[in-house]
Protein backbone atom coordinates (compact mmCIF):
# COMPACT_ATOMS: atom_id res chain seq x y z
CA UNK A 1 0.00 0.00 0.00
CA UNK A 2 1.42 3.39 -0.95
CA UNK A 3 1.42 6.56 1.09
CA UNK A 4 -1.12 8.04 -1.34
CA UNK A 5 -3.76 5.61 -0.06
CA UNK A 6 -4.46 7.73 3.00
CA UNK A 7 -4.40 11.34 4.16
CA UNK A 8 -2.49 11.85 7.41
CA UNK A 9 -2.90 14.87 9.69
CA UNK A 10 -0.24 15.13 12.38
CA UNK A 11 -0.82 16.71 15.84
CA UNK A 12 -1.07 20.49 15.65
CA UNK A 13 1.28 20.71 18.66
CA UNK A 14 4.17 19.52 16.51
CA UNK A 15 4.90 16.82 19.09
CA UNK A 16 4.98 13.13 18.12
CA UNK A 17 1.57 11.49 18.13
CA UNK A 18 0.75 9.17 21.01
CA UNK A 19 -2.82 8.49 19.84
CA UNK A 20 -4.53 7.96 16.50
CA UNK A 21 -8.02 8.32 15.05
CA UNK A 22 -9.00 6.70 11.76
CA UNK A 23 -11.98 8.17 9.90
CA UNK A 24 -13.41 6.23 6.94
CA UNK A 25 -15.44 8.20 4.41
CA UNK A 26 -18.65 7.22 2.65
CA UNK A 27 -19.44 5.98 -0.85
CA UNK A 28 -18.20 8.22 -3.66
CA UNK A 29 -16.09 10.44 -1.39
CA UNK A 30 -12.44 10.26 -0.32
CA UNK A 31 -10.33 10.93 2.74
CA UNK A 32 -10.46 14.68 2.17
CA UNK A 33 -14.20 14.60 2.90
CA UNK A 34 -13.54 14.60 6.65
CA UNK A 35 -10.43 16.80 6.60
CA UNK A 36 -12.38 19.90 7.78
CA UNK A 37 -13.75 17.91 10.72
CA UNK A 38 -10.36 17.60 12.43
CA UNK A 39 -9.84 21.27 13.43
CA UNK A 40 -13.58 21.61 14.16
CA UNK A 41 -13.37 19.00 16.93
CA UNK A 42 -11.66 21.43 19.28
CA UNK A 43 -9.51 18.79 20.92
CA UNK A 44 -7.36 19.82 23.92
CA UNK A 45 -3.93 21.20 23.09
CA UNK A 46 -2.23 18.53 25.16
CA UNK A 47 -3.84 15.70 23.17
CA UNK A 48 -1.34 14.65 20.50
CA UNK A 49 -3.58 12.78 18.05
CA UNK A 50 -2.69 11.72 14.54
CA UNK A 51 -5.70 11.52 12.20
CA UNK A 52 -5.57 9.07 9.33
CA UNK A 53 -8.22 9.39 6.63
CA UNK A 54 -7.81 6.53 4.15
CA UNK A 55 -9.08 6.68 0.57
CA UNK A 56 -11.28 3.81 -0.62
CA UNK A 57 -10.35 2.05 -3.87
CA UNK A 58 -12.38 2.66 -7.04
CA UNK A 59 -14.88 -0.14 -7.64
CA UNK A 60 -17.95 -0.73 -9.82
CA UNK A 61 -21.05 -0.21 -7.67
CA UNK A 62 -24.07 -2.26 -8.66
CA UNK A 63 -26.76 0.01 -7.19
CA UNK A 64 -25.28 2.93 -9.16
CA UNK A 65 -25.58 1.16 -12.50
CA UNK A 66 -22.14 -0.40 -12.25
CA UNK A 67 -20.45 3.00 -12.26
CA UNK A 68 -16.88 2.96 -10.96
CA UNK A 69 -16.34 5.23 -7.96
CA UNK A 70 -14.55 5.31 -4.60
CA UNK A 71 -16.13 2.45 -2.63
CA UNK A 72 -15.09 0.22 0.23
CA UNK A 73 -17.24 -2.57 -1.23
CA UNK A 74 -20.00 -3.16 -3.76
CA UNK A 75 -23.60 -2.62 -2.69
CA UNK A 76 -25.74 -5.15 -4.53
CA UNK A 77 -29.18 -3.98 -3.36
CA UNK A 78 -30.36 -0.77 -1.73
CA UNK A 79 -33.14 -2.55 0.16
CA UNK A 80 -33.42 -2.24 3.93
CA UNK A 81 -31.43 -5.48 4.19
CA UNK A 82 -28.52 -3.79 2.36
CA UNK A 83 -27.10 -6.80 0.49
CA UNK A 84 -23.38 -6.12 0.01
CA UNK A 85 -20.23 -7.85 -1.21
CA UNK A 86 -19.02 -9.07 2.16
CA UNK A 87 -15.72 -10.36 0.79
CA UNK A 88 -14.84 -6.84 -0.40
CA UNK A 89 -16.01 -5.36 2.89
CA UNK A 90 -13.84 -7.74 4.89
CA UNK A 91 -10.88 -7.00 2.60
CA UNK A 92 -11.30 -3.28 3.26
CA UNK A 93 -11.54 -3.94 7.00
CA UNK A 94 -8.35 -5.99 6.87
CA UNK A 95 -6.63 -3.12 5.07
CA UNK A 96 -7.65 -0.75 7.87
CA UNK A 97 -6.46 -3.24 10.45
CA UNK A 98 -3.12 -3.30 8.64
CA UNK A 99 -2.89 0.48 9.01
CA UNK A 100 -3.72 0.14 12.71
CA UNK A 101 -0.93 -2.39 13.11
CA UNK A 102 1.43 0.11 11.44
CA UNK A 103 0.52 2.73 14.06
CA UNK A 104 1.12 0.23 16.85
CA UNK A 105 4.51 -0.61 15.33
CA UNK A 106 5.32 3.13 15.39
CA UNK A 107 4.67 3.26 19.13
CA UNK A 108 1.00 4.25 19.38
CA UNK A 109 -0.68 1.90 21.90
CA UNK A 110 -3.68 0.00 20.53
CA UNK A 111 -5.87 1.29 23.38
CA UNK A 112 -5.16 4.84 22.17
CA UNK A 113 -6.47 4.15 18.67
CA UNK A 114 -10.07 4.91 17.62
CA UNK A 115 -11.73 3.73 14.42
CA UNK A 116 -14.56 5.90 13.06
CA UNK A 117 -16.56 5.69 9.87
CA UNK A 118 -19.43 7.32 8.02
CA UNK A 119 -22.05 5.39 6.04
CA UNK A 120 -20.22 2.76 3.96
CA UNK A 121 -17.04 3.59 5.85
CA UNK A 122 -18.92 2.98 9.07
CA UNK A 123 -19.78 -0.56 8.02
CA UNK A 124 -16.06 -1.17 7.45
CA UNK A 125 -15.24 0.49 10.79
CA UNK A 126 -17.60 -1.91 12.58
CA UNK A 127 -15.89 -4.93 11.02
CA UNK A 128 -12.34 -3.61 11.49
CA UNK A 129 -12.76 -2.59 15.13
CA UNK A 130 -14.89 -5.46 16.41
CA UNK A 131 -12.59 -8.12 14.95
CA UNK A 132 -9.27 -6.43 15.82
CA UNK A 133 -7.15 -8.73 18.03
CA UNK A 134 -5.87 -6.03 20.40
CA UNK A 135 -7.91 -3.75 22.68
CA UNK A 136 -8.72 -0.46 20.93
CA UNK A 137 -9.79 2.87 22.37
CA UNK A 138 -13.24 3.11 20.81
CA UNK A 139 -15.49 2.88 17.77
CA UNK A 140 -17.56 5.70 16.26
CA UNK A 141 -20.24 4.65 13.74
CA UNK A 142 -21.92 7.53 11.90
CA UNK A 143 -25.05 7.16 9.75
CA UNK A 144 -24.25 3.54 9.05
CA UNK A 145 -25.30 -0.09 9.51
CA UNK A 146 -23.84 -3.39 10.70
CA UNK A 147 -23.45 -5.08 7.32
CA UNK A 148 -21.76 -8.21 8.66
CA UNK A 149 -24.29 -8.87 11.41
CA UNK A 150 -24.74 -12.51 10.36
CA UNK A 151 -21.06 -13.29 9.86
CA UNK A 152 -19.36 -11.16 12.51
CA UNK A 153 -16.83 -13.03 14.64
CA UNK A 154 -15.90 -10.53 17.39
CA UNK A 155 -12.41 -10.56 18.86
CA UNK A 156 -12.29 -11.31 22.58
CA UNK A 157 -9.98 -8.32 23.16
CA UNK A 158 -12.70 -5.88 22.07
CA UNK A 159 -15.80 -7.50 23.55
CA UNK A 160 -16.27 -4.45 25.81
CA UNK A 161 -15.15 -1.82 23.29
CA UNK A 162 -16.92 1.53 23.88
CA UNK A 163 -19.15 2.15 20.86
CA UNK A 164 -20.71 5.49 19.91
CA UNK A 165 -23.46 5.36 17.24
CA UNK A 166 -24.73 8.56 15.59
CA UNK A 167 -27.65 8.73 13.17
CA UNK A 168 -29.94 11.32 11.65
CA UNK A 169 -33.67 10.98 12.18
CA UNK A 170 -34.40 11.98 8.57
CA UNK A 171 -31.78 9.92 6.74
CA UNK A 172 -33.10 8.91 3.29
CA UNK A 173 -29.94 7.00 2.32
CA UNK A 174 -29.35 4.81 5.38
CA UNK A 175 -32.65 4.75 7.28
CA UNK A 176 -32.32 5.29 11.01
CA UNK A 177 -33.88 1.86 11.55
CA UNK A 178 -30.57 0.38 10.39
CA UNK A 179 -28.59 2.37 12.96
CA UNK A 180 -31.02 1.30 15.66
CA UNK A 181 -30.80 -2.33 14.54
CA UNK A 182 -27.01 -2.18 14.88
CA UNK A 183 -27.37 -0.73 18.37
CA UNK A 184 -29.82 -3.43 19.41
CA UNK A 185 -27.65 -6.23 18.04
CA UNK A 186 -24.49 -4.93 19.69
CA UNK A 187 -26.21 -4.40 23.02
CA UNK A 188 -27.53 -7.97 22.81
CA UNK A 189 -23.91 -9.09 22.37
CA UNK A 190 -22.95 -7.20 25.53
CA UNK A 191 -21.20 -4.16 24.06
CA UNK A 192 -21.43 -0.80 25.86
CA UNK A 193 -23.22 1.33 23.25
CA UNK A 194 -24.29 4.97 23.37
CA UNK A 195 -26.75 5.95 20.66
CA UNK A 196 -27.23 9.59 19.65
CA UNK A 197 -29.95 10.77 17.29
CA UNK A 198 -29.64 14.09 15.43
CA UNK A 199 -32.14 16.22 13.46
CA UNK A 200 -30.46 15.69 10.10
CA UNK A 201 -30.46 13.68 6.90
CA UNK A 202 -27.44 11.68 5.65
CA UNK A 203 -24.80 14.09 6.89
CA UNK A 204 -22.74 15.35 9.82
CA UNK A 205 -24.22 18.31 11.71
CA UNK A 206 -22.63 20.93 14.03
CA UNK A 207 -24.34 19.49 17.12
CA UNK A 208 -22.82 16.12 16.30
CA UNK A 209 -19.34 17.59 15.81
CA UNK A 210 -19.69 19.24 19.22
CA UNK A 211 -20.33 15.78 20.69
CA UNK A 212 -17.56 13.95 18.82
CA UNK A 213 -14.71 16.12 20.13
CA UNK A 214 -15.40 15.51 23.85
CA UNK A 215 -16.00 11.82 23.19
CA UNK A 216 -12.60 11.44 21.52
CA UNK A 217 -10.96 13.48 24.30
CA UNK A 218 -12.58 11.26 26.94
CA UNK A 219 -11.43 8.11 25.20
CA UNK A 220 -7.85 9.30 24.58
CA UNK A 221 -7.20 11.70 27.45
CA UNK A 222 -4.76 10.70 30.15
Using CA atoms, how far apart are residues 6 and 204, in angstroms rounded to an integer? 21
Q: Looking at residue 55, what DSSP letter applies? A: P
32 given a catalytic annotation:
no
Q: Which of 48, 74, 85, 119 is catalytic?
A: 119
Q: The pTM is what?
A: 0.96
- What confidence tier does 84 reach under pLDDT thresholds 50, 70, 90? very high
Per-chain mean pLDDT for the chain: 95
Sequence-distant (≥ 6) Cβ neighbours of residue 171 within 8 angstroms? 143, 179, 200, 201, 202
- Set 18, 30, 101, 202: catalytic member: 202
Give me the pLDDT at residue 82, please: 75
Banded pLDDT at 4 (limits 50, 70, 90) = low
Cross-strand pairs, 21: 51, 114
Longest dimension (CA), the chain: 48
**SS3 of residue 164 by DSSP:** strand
Name the band, by pLDDT with cuts 50, 70 and 90, for residue 1.
very low
Name residues whose C-beta falls within 8 Å of residue 79's C-beta, 6 or more positions apart in sequence: none
Instruction: Establish whether 119 is a catalytic residue.
Output: yes
Amino acid sequence: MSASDELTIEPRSGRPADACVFILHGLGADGHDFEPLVPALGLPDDLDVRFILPHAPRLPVTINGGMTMPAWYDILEASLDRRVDEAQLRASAERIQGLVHEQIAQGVPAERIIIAGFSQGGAVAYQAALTFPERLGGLLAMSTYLATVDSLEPAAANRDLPIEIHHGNADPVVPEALGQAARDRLEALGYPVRYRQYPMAHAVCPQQVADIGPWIAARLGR
